[in-house]
Structure 1
Amino acid sequence: MEREYLTAPVTIVCGYYGSGKTTFSLNLARRVSGAPLTLMDMDVVNPYFRSSDYRAELEAAGVRVIAPNFAGTMLDIPSLNPAIAGILESGERVLIDAGGDDAGATALGCFAHLIAKRPYEMLYVINRSRPLASEPEEAAEILKAIEKTSRLRATGLVNNTHWGAGTTPQLLEESLPYAAAVSRLTGLPVKYTAVEKGLVPQVERLEGDPAVGSLFPMDLPVQPPW
């Protein structure tokens, strides 16, 4: 039986710049079933790879895509988009791709008062292969900054350690102590370990380990559609 994802009314995916949170968000959106879903792109940090770039593909699959309005540069604080506020208040199921690190979480913070009105899940994506977040203490500090800026609390971790096409089962296994340490420092469970679909048979024995949680098969890499 297919595992059910996005069980909370609102699911937020956040993480350090380059952690792979947008790729995870896109794969998560593609995995939904049942009630309609709206994907909100609030990534103001990376203008070159954003979930809203995949609007046509996602909307063809029944996922509505909403991005906030920006004034000036891509790093400006977003203007309050009436569509975003209305959807958050409507009770619809929502997936939010938040911006990288605390700077990107600024947009998320603008809507924190609406998000917190309903049960929400906030998943923090970690990647041991990324500079400035390769140590558990660094990843934990980044999360503190994201939570402070967004005014929301994370509820779980996603270990997305990879080297793109060069990812191996060994790399994944070597990242487990890192994920366990981040879990210990933050007090958050590892909910998912992202793994390229073709590698799943080689690592499925790890599923259920507290440092792994549930394996989340991913289509990688996700290439921009331009």
Structure 2
Amino acid sequence: MKNDKRIRIVIGHYGSGKTEFSVNYAVKLAKMGRKVGLVDLDVINPYFRSREKTALLAEIGIKVVGSNLEGNALDVPAISGEAATPLQDKSYDAILDVGGDPAGARALGRYFPILRDGEYDMFFVLNANRPETQSVDKAMEYIAKIEATARAKVTGIVNNTHMLKATSVEDVIRGYDLAVKVSEATGIPLRYNSCLESLADKLPDEVKTNVFPIQLYMREEWMI
């Protein structure tokens, strides 16, 4: 994490776990004593949005910016004007949780003047269990569409292959194998292998190298 750029953009197909990764990333930074701003730019998916955890994250010291309309039940594609603050204020470590498809990436396009090459990382969260990104060709096509819409380049791949609480070591390994192939085909480095904390020590050594253990902040205890 220490080598990542100050601004981290997180993209991924619906169901990839990009929001869970974004929240966990923010929490890890906050626990390192960093000033963190988490910007929820997901105007596509009305469920499992990072701004739903505003109160919890605020307790940890994380500033969450989302809709400029209060209330989780309001499914309105409106982003607060505060969203630019963590991007422009260099005292922040900024994380942008972007909508889960090329259409959702349009929300990122408005910040194109702020996002200069070399000053941000854009992580593509890959879930090999999703039909839309379960092959090298499909993943590459998705990356290309996102980049064209967002006018920003993917700089890292995050293997986040999961089946929610039923995720197995085999799921993570299968995702790792696909992520390596996508990395080789695109030249985009594999930055993290994300997995449940309970699985981290069970992974093969090559997968452990850049393991990113996570908790399921976005799933309530009663959810499967």
For the criterion TM > 0.5, the same-fold answer is yes
Q: Which TM-score applies when normalising by structure 2?
A: 0.87
Q: Structure 2: 5+ residue runs without aligned partners?
A: none
How many residues are treated as equivalent by the alignment?
215
| CA displacement at 1:133 relative to structure 2 | 1.4
Equivalent residues of 2:39, 2:65 under 8 A apart: yes
| CA displacement at 1:120 relative to structure 2 | 0.7
Equivalent residues of 2:43, 2:107 under 8 A apart: yes
| Structure 1 stretches of at least 4 aligned residues deviating more than 4 Å after TM superposition | 73-76
The amino acid that maps onto 2:40 is D
> Does 2:97 align with 1:109?
no
Tell me the residue number matched to 1:41: 40
Tell me the residue number matched to 2:132: 132
Alignment CA distance shift 1:82-1:172 (3 Å): closer
Alignment CA distance shift 1:56-1:225 (3 Å): farther
> Does 2:25 align with 1:28?
yes
Equivalent residues of 1:20, 1:125 under 8 A apart: yes
Q: Aligned equivalents of 1:163 and 1:23: distance in 2?
A: 13
Q: Which TM-score applies when normalising by structure 1?
A: 0.86
Alignment CA distance shift 1:201-1:85 (3 Å): closer
Aligned residue for 1:166, secondary structure, equals: coil
Q: Aligned equivalents of 2:108 and 2:220: distance in 1?
A: 23
Tell me the residue number matched to 1:216: 212
| CA displacement at 1:193 relative to structure 2 | 0.5
CA RMSD of the aligned region, Å? 2.3
- Farther-moved stretch of structure 1 (38-47 vs 61-70): 61-70
Q: Deviations over 1:128-171 (max 9, x none)?
A: 00122111111111111111111111100000011122221122
Q: Aligned equivalents of 2:68 and 2:149: distance in 1?
A: 19
Q: Structure 1: 5+ residue runs without aligned partners?
A: none
Q: Aligned equivalents of 1:170 and 1:120: distance in 2?
A: 32
| CA displacement at 1:185 relative to structure 2 | 2.4
Equivalent residues of 2:6, 2:119 under 8 A apart: yes
